[in-house]
Amino acid sequence: MSDILVSEQSAAGASGRPAGRLLEVDDLRVEFRTRDGVAKVINGVTYHVDAGETLAVLGESGSGKSVTAQTIMGILDTPPGFVTGGQARFHGKDMLTMSFEERRRIRGEGIAMIFQDALSALNPVFTVGFQIAEQFRIRRGMSRSDAKKRAIEMLDQVKIPNAKGRFSNYPHQFSGGMRQRAMIAMSLALDPEVLIADEPTTALDVTVQAQIMDLLAELQRERQMGMILITHDLGVVADVADRIAVMYAGRIVEEADVYDLYAKPAHPYTLGLLNSIPRLDEKGQELRTIKGLPPNLMNIPPGCPFNPRCPMAQPVCREKLPPLLQIGAGRASACHFAEELVNRD
């Protein structure tokens, strides 16, 4: 996968990138240097997002999905987090080597992010309206009253009832779902080309979750935004994603179109995840689990990091790290036995 990206790059330069390719993460590596040792959190992540598409980054806690997003946004806590390699290119330009000012211009207008916990992402001492309007005043140089008008429009767009009245409310006066809407309004205020949504509905109830996912899908369609949806929820992914990248121990282990991935997973980890969802026709039976625990990132096992938990593991898996290789149109897997997995009955 990454080989192909690189050859496209070197052959034609930045202008030769496929049209609409907005964001490319290329062999990104991040480590956390702590008192107890060095945790290798991201170990060569490569993915891209095009205009109008939704890439779901799926993984369990500690898989590095959020740290990748933080690195792209430039909000990685340093120390302890350090980028040790790779690139994150926006319109072909590496953001990791940009000046602070250049990078700041991309945030909000180029790439915006929404977080899981809206209450801690919003500033409690300013009104919700002020926090949205602030962006128009600083970045667009609007007057106070124009900015307020635009902010109310934004609140209205994310379907907050009585947007005008709600403008001067504080975050604590909003319910959980409304706060999430307010944060979406804030992140979309400057019309970003890419939206990174980090577990946007995990803290919400199912009925509210459905409302928020709908809203995001609608806004994305209208604006032809590229979206990176970071989640651990296989249900949400099946509903909205176009493509999926599955992460494990700081690496992408599988990348595929959403239909292919659910129909024929090409990595034993993906298969294990899909199998551990309770299914209707298996009630009363034991759930098929993935044995063991995710690896300690300070001490990742040699070879394939999934090998201690993998039911298919062979001697080669303990010795050689399988690279993420293309196995079909738009599909890649980092498993020595990906072909066998896809081709079985």
Partner 1 sequence: MTENILEVRDLVKHYPIHRGVVFKKTIGHVKAVDGVSFELRQGETLGVVGESGCGKSTLARVLMNLEKPTGGSVHYKGQDISKLSGGGLRRLRRQIQLVMQDPYTSLNPRMTVGDLIGEPFEIHPEVAPKGSRRGKVKELLDLVGLNPEHINRYPHQFSGGQRQRIGIARALALRPEIIVCDEPVSALDVSIQAQVMNLLEKLQAEFGLAYVFIAHDLSVVRHLSDRVAVMYLGKIVEIGTEDEIYERPTHPYTQALLSAVPVPDPTVREHKAIIRLTGDVPSPANPPSGCRFRTRCWKAQEVCAREVPLLQIRSGSDHPSACHFAEKREIVATHEAA
Q: CB atoms < 10 A from the CB of 83, how many?
A: 17
- Three-state SS string over 49-61 comes to EECCCEEEEECCC
State which residue, 10 or 61, has the beta carbon closest to partner 1.
Answer: 61
State which residue, 7 or 162, has the beta carbon closest to partner 1.
Answer: 162
Distance CA 210, CA 225 (A): 20
Residue 205 neighbours by CB under 8 Å, 6+ apart = 176, 177
Q: Does residue number 290 form part of the binding site for partner 1 (CB under 8 A)? A: yes
Residue where the block lists tokens 């010795």:
319
Contacting range for partner 1; rule: CB under 8 A; set: 40-48, 114-122, 183-191, 277-285? 277-285
Of these, 175, 224, 314, 343, which contacts partner 1 (CB under 8 A)? 175
State which residue, 83 or 217, has the beta carbon closest to partner 1.
Answer: 217
- Of 111, 33, 27, which is closest to residue 78 (Cα–Cα)? 33
Of these, 74, 81, 226, 272, which contacts partner 1 (CB under 8 A)? 272
Q: What are phi and psi of 139, to 5 degrees?
A: -90, -30
Q: Does residue number 274 form part of the binding site for partner 1 (CB under 8 A)? A: yes
User: How far is residue 208 from each of residues 106, 201, 240, 294, measured CA to CA in Å?
Assistant: 31, 8, 16, 31
Contacting range for partner 1; rule: CB under 8 A; set: 12-20, 98-106, 108-116, 175-183? 175-183
Contacting range for partner 1; rule: CB under 8 A; set: 40-48, 134-142, 219-227, 281-289? 281-289
For partner 1, the binding residues in 226-265 under the rule CB under 8 A are 232-239, 241, 258-259, 262-263
Whether residue 183 contacts residue 122, with contact meaning beta carbons closer than 8 Å, is answered with: yes
Q: Does residue number 12 form part of the binding site for partner 1 (CB under 8 A)? A: no
Alpha helices of the chain — where are they, by DSSP H? 2-12, 65-73, 100-106, 118-121, 128-140, 144-157, 163-166, 176-188, 206-223, 234-240, 258-263, 268-275, 315-319, 338-343
State which residue, 78 or 175, has the beta carbon closest to partner 1.
Answer: 175
Q: Does residue number 221 form part of the binding site for partner 1 (CB under 8 A)? A: no
Of these, 105, 279, 318, 320, which contacts partner 1 (CB under 8 A)? 279
CB 271 to partner 1: min, Å? 11
CB 201 to partner 1: min, Å? 9
- Return the structure tokens found at 284: 């009363």
Distance CA 96, CA 87 (A): 6
State which residue, 117 or 146, has the beta carbon closest to partner 1.
Answer: 117
- Of 203, 108, 105, which is closest to residue 154 (Cα–Cα)? 108
State which residue, 6 or 263, has the beta carbon closest to partner 1.
Answer: 263
Q: Does residue number 278 form part of the binding site for partner 1 (CB under 8 A)? A: yes
Q: What are phi and psi of 265, to 5 degrees?
A: -65, 145
Q: Does residue number 118 form part of the binding site for partner 1 (CB under 8 A)? A: no
State which residue, 191 or 218, has the beta carbon closest to partner 1.
Answer: 218
State which residue, 69 or 256, has the beta carbon closest to partner 1.
Answer: 256
Q: Binding residues for partner 1, per CB under 8 A?
A: 60-61, 161, 175-178, 205-211, 213-214, 232-239, 241, 258-259, 262-263, 272-274, 276-283, 286-291, 293-294
